[in-house]
Amino acid sequence: MQNGLTLFSLGQIAGYSMKKRLQGRIIKDGKAHGIALVSPEPIGFLGGVDPDTGVVIEPGHPLEGECIAGRILVFPTGKGSTVGSYTLYRLARNGLAPAGIINAESEAIVAVGAIIADIPMVDQVDISQIRSGDVVSINGEVVTVG
């Protein structure tokens, strides 16, 4: 979280051209706004994310130790057990769900999880355009970075 915020403010100071508009495909319609947490690897929610803390606990995962609560969670695709849909629901009930989800290519586990947990989600987005710490908005199928 702290790293992300620092990166963002440096970007502003340096006067980078901040706004990037990416087009995706709606999986769960909605609006979300937050700071990106980007994983280069797929995420499995059952056993991969602690539903009572929101922290990624899969050993060796690039996001191990990071809290996904309130972030715009960006990752290529889902993996692991289908029960992972319910983990997303439980995170939401605990107030620890990501604010939004962006995938390169969606699959059933995360898609169903986003729907039952009411998390806005888009896929078919060029996720290489997003870095951890970027401020990201999701509005329907449009993703705005910066």
Partner 1 sequence: MHLTVEERAMLAGEHGPALQKAMEIIVALGTIYGAAELVPVTSVQVAGVSYKNLGQAGLDFLREWAAQGARVRVPTTLNPAGMDLRAWRELGFPQTFARQQLAVVEAYRAMGISPTCSCTPYLVGNVPGFGEHVAWAESSAVSFANSVLGARTNREGGPSALAAALTGRTAAYGLHLDENRRARYMVDVRCPLRSGADFGALGYLVGKMVRNAVPYFRLSTLPSPPPLTLPLKTLGAAMAASGAVALYHVEGVTPEVQRGEMLAPDAERVIIEDLSPAYAALNAPVEQIDLVSIGCPHASLDEIAEVARAVDDRRLRAALWITTARQIKDRAAEAGYVATIEAAGGRVVADTCLVVAPMDALGFRTLATNSAKMAFYTPSHSGLQVRFGPLEQCLDAALTGRWKCET
For the annotated catalytic residues, the residue numbers are 81
Considering only 89, 100, 127, 136, the residue that binds partner 1 (CB under 8 A) is 89
Segment contacting partner 1 (CB under 8 A): 1-9, 61-69, 88-96, 138-146? Answer: 88-96
Instruction: Output the six-digit token pair for 123.
Output: 């896929």
Can you give the C-alpha Rg of the chain in angstroms?
14
Distance in angstroms (rounded) separating the CA atoms of residues 120 and 75: 14
Is residue 39 involved in binding partner 1 (CB under 8 A)? Answer: no
Report the SS3 class of residue 121: strand
H helix runs in 15-117, sequence order: 84-93, 108-116
What does the buried/exposed string (b/e) look like for 29-41 if buried means 16 or more CB atoms within 10 Å of the residue's CB? ebebebbbbbbee
Considering only 25, 31, 57, 126, the residue that binds partner 1 (CB under 8 A) is 25
Binding mask 94-123 for partner 1 (x = CB under 8 A): ------------xxxx-xx--xx------x
Is residue 38 involved in binding partner 1 (CB under 8 A)? Answer: no
Considering only 8, 22, 28, 34, the residue that binds partner 1 (CB under 8 A) is 28
